[in-house]
Amino acid sequence: MKGDSIIRALNVADTANQSPISPPPCILLVDGDPVRRHASAEVLIQHGYEVNAVEDAAAALEELQAVHYHLLITDYDLPKINGVKLIKKLRAARITLPIIMVAGQLPAEELALHPTLQLAAALVKPVSMEVLLDTVKIVLCATHSHQEHRAEQASAITHVLQSSLRHHSDSAHLEK
């Protein structure tokens, strides 16, 4: 992995509350400021999330190819390429994970020009840890609800198809 990165696993105490079937959400945090990156990662870890934190877009792209993440939190002001360009690369690669962007001043015009970036949330610095945690919870909950809804729809479609096939099979059997 490139750059100064923090990779943390959950403490044993944190994992005691996690279901073995449901691992904790895994978050990739991208921030060029090592102090803010470390502080944000620590708070997220303390609240039960698995967090990998990297300093730039190149390291983020490398991580996203190697690990399945449930959420990306990225700063706008990154070394080399900014957060919007990182998100463009992800969306071009059809990576659809939810993204929270944090910025000193939101690039509203740039975001308006690219509606396909589909940010889950945008936060303006300074961001309190409480606001960050609340936003993460809301985004992950919405994503989970959307996935459950899609699973319910797929289950309902499967049930209808199976019933239809059974009915068709029974009708064909009766005609003989």
- In the chain, the domains with their CATH numbers are 6-146 (3.40.50.2300)
Whole-number pLDDT of residue 49? 95
pLDDT < 70 regions, the chain: 1-21, 144-176
DSSP state of 47: T
Q: Cα separations (Å) of 142 from 15, 41, 113, 137, 139?
A: 23, 21, 25, 8, 5
Q: Tell me how far CA of residue 2 lies from CA of 60, 62, 63, 77, 128, in angstroms.
A: 9, 8, 9, 18, 28
User: Per-residue pLDDT tens for 59-109?
Assistant: 999 999 999 999 999 999 999 999 999 999 999 998 989 999 999 988 888
Question: In sequence order, what DSSP letters do the residues of 69-94 get, joined into one string?
Answer: -SEEEEESS-SSS-HHHHHHHHHHTT
* pLDDT given for residue 167 in this prediction: 47
Question: pLDDT value at position 14?
Answer: 43
User: Could you count the other beta carbons within 10 Å of the beta carbon of residue 119?
Assistant: 18
pLDDT score of 169: 52
**Cα separation values, 13 from 51, 167, 172, Å:** 16, 53, 59
Q: Which amino acid, residue 68?
A: H
- Sign of the dihedral through C-alpha 61, 149, 25, 66: negative
Q: What are phi and psi of 42, to 5 degrees?
A: -60, -45
Q: Is 48 exposed, middle or buried (0-12, 13-18, 19+ CB in 10 A)?
A: middle
Closest CA to 65 of 1, 119, 136, 139: 1
